[in-house]
Structure 1
Amino acid sequence: MKRTVLLLSLAAMTLTSCGSKKKIAELEAQNKEIQDLLNTATVKLNTCLSEKSSLSDQVDYLKKTNADLITNVGNVTTLSSKGAENLEKTLESLKEKDLKITRLQDAITRKDSVTLALVSSVKRAVGINDPDIEVNVEKGVVYISIADKLLFKSGSYQVSDRAKEILGKVAAIVKDKSNFECMVEGHTDNVPIKNPVLQDNWDLSVKRATSIVRILQQDFGIEPGRLVASGRGEYVPLESNDTAEGRARNRRTRILILPKIDQFYDMIEKEMKNQK
């Protein structure tokens, strides 16, 4: 009977891990898509700036031409109607380019400003001076990396009391920002682990992630639909596992605060269509 229960538990953990990997793949694909779109928008922006510079040169040329006409004839009324018409069209084109550039800049700047504001809030809340806690941004995603020793005992997935204090600070930020989702990633070193509950480091990393997710939900009231638990095992190391220091760095939990990119995607996509 005990063996049957153990097999069923391991099967459930395997299915959970597969679901987490699928969710990770979807989020990474979404993040790559918005990054590609931002890159395209930046190229468009640079093109517009180049065109604006060219048009400015044309305006200067036309102004000089008109000034020469005025000087030569001695009367403003001799300004050719054709030159005046060309000048008016060029100025109108410049205004249109300026408007498109401004819209693209606003769309990109808004996303960047939201991310930077979030980073500042996280750093103030979790205490960035702690060497075992790192906060950084990669491609618009805020990463909070917490050393293993702050959260769990060796080989365990039971969350420590000190960890709950740290998680409470992170939860307050996530809970306050309804437009953000939260993914918890468990990471281990490459030292093998196997016991009646944990088959390997995959299992350990997933169990640690789900332990933290449950605390965020049950203790701090974050909606479960905004939470993702995932385990990366030993396969995304920060340093070599050949030294004790490297293994300690690799044993960590990352909390990813992910902006819901739909609003930024729609805004930038709309401006890209306006460029056509």
Structure 2
Amino acid sequence: MNRQKAQLLLFTLILINLSSCVAKKEFDALFNEKTNLETENAELKEKLEIAEEKISRLEVQVEEFKSKSEVLQKDLDFLQEQFNTVQGEYERVNQLYKNLLNNSNELSTDLAQQQQRLLAIQDDLEIERKKNLELAEDLAKREARVAELEKLIADKEQAVQQLKRRVTDALLNFDEGELKVEVKNGKVYVSLAEKLLFGSGSNKVDEQGANALKQLANALKGNSEINIMVEGHTDNVPISRTSQYMNDNWDLSVMRATSIVRILVSNGVNPEAITASGRGEFSPIELNNTPENKALNRRTEIILTPKLDELFQILETY
């Protein structure tokens, strides 16, 4: 604005100085030019004001943009910081994922191995289950056999006791010193003293002994479920007389047993179920050191044994 005023003043002075020597035509031209300049100046002034107003608005906008820019920069810095944090977290999580992936592969391999082991164990369990079933079936069969065996043994024991009572009842009229009936090891033992059956050194049964044997035969005959062993025994005193058929106590014990067998068989005892044997002096029940003990050793034992064919058949199945 100052510049324009100075130009205008200078121009005015020039016009005054030249007015006297300038023709009117020139004056008019200059005046028109002045007018044009003033018009142009007014337009320029108006444009300048408009420009200044625009500049003011732009400066305000610039300040606003600067403020916004600062806020945006702060936001950008914050977001960058957040991004860096998230990026670090992502890298950490990604590493964890890779580790988990590796572990997952290892776990998958281990799981496959464990599944194979489990299948093998299941196969083994199935085999063991079948074995257990077989064992259970076998055990049930064995228990049934044991029960059958126990019943058979109980029946045999009962039969032995019944046989003992039957024999005892048949020989009630004889003294205990002459004979004795007892059960040992599941067998009935009828022990007959020498004085009841034989004279000293003789193998011939006397009348009293024959009567006892007949009563015993009546109790035994018809019973097909027993085996009978007639076993002769002596003391350790050698026989006083020898012969072609009797050389020692052993021969004497056997011949006495044979004599008893013949009487039993002749009175109805099954000969297929009876056996004669002699033990001589070699199975004493007492030491041969007194006359009383020697008398006890001179005896004949009739051993009655229940047949155990059924029992043996059961045992053979085990």
For the criterion TM > 0.5, the same-fold answer is yes
Structure 1 counterpart of 2:176, which letter?
A: D
CA shift, 1:138, in A, is 1.6
- Seen in structure 2, the aligned counterparts of structure 1 residues 196 and 129 have a Cα distance that, compared at 3 Å, is closer
CA shift, 1:129, in A, is 5.1
CA shift, 1:116, in A, is 1.2
1:152 to 191, 198, 207: 198
CA shift, 1:269, in A, is 4.9
Whole-Å separation in 2 of the counterparts to 1:212 and 1:189 = 19
2:308 to 247, 252, 261: 261
Residue 143 in 1 paired to residue 169 in 2? no
**Matching residue of 1:222:** 269
Q: How many residues get paired? A: 179
**Matching residue of 2:242:** 195
* Contact 1:180–1:260, Cα closer than 8 Å, also in 2: yes
Unaligned segments of structure 2, at least 5 residues: 1-135
CA shift, 1:155, in A, is 0.5
**Matching residue of 2:171:** 126
Residue 167 in 1 paired to residue 216 in 2? no
Structure 2 counterpart of 1:209, which letter?
A: A
Unaligned segments of structure 1, at least 5 residues: 1-91
* Contact 2:218–2:268, Cα closer than 8 Å, also in 1: no
- Seen in structure 2, the aligned counterparts of structure 1 residues 199 and 98 have a Cα distance that, compared at 3 Å, is closer
1:212 to 255, 260, 272: 260
1:107 to 152, 175, 178: 152
Larger RCO, structure (CA 8 Å, separation 6 or more): 1
> TM-score if structure 2 supplies the norm length?
0.52
Structure 2 counterpart of 1:237, which letter?
A: P
Residue 183 in 1 paired to residue 229 in 2? yes
* Backbone CA RMSD of aligned residues: 2.5
2:285 to 224, 234, 238: 238
Identity %: 42
* Contact 1:107–1:267, Cα closer than 8 Å, also in 2: no
Farther-moved stretch of structure 1 (173-182 vs 137-146): 173-182
* Contact 1:157–1:211, Cα closer than 8 Å, also in 2: yes
* Contact 1:111–1:264, Cα closer than 8 Å, also in 2: no
Note the alpha carbon deviations across 1:154-204, whole angstroms, 9 max, x for none: 000110101111101211122131111211111000001142242110111
Greater Rg over alpha carbons, structure: 2
Whole-Å separation in 2 of the counterparts to 1:161 and 1:117 = 28
* Contact 2:178–2:193, Cα closer than 8 Å, also in 1: yes
Structure 2 counterpart of 1:184, which letter?
A: V
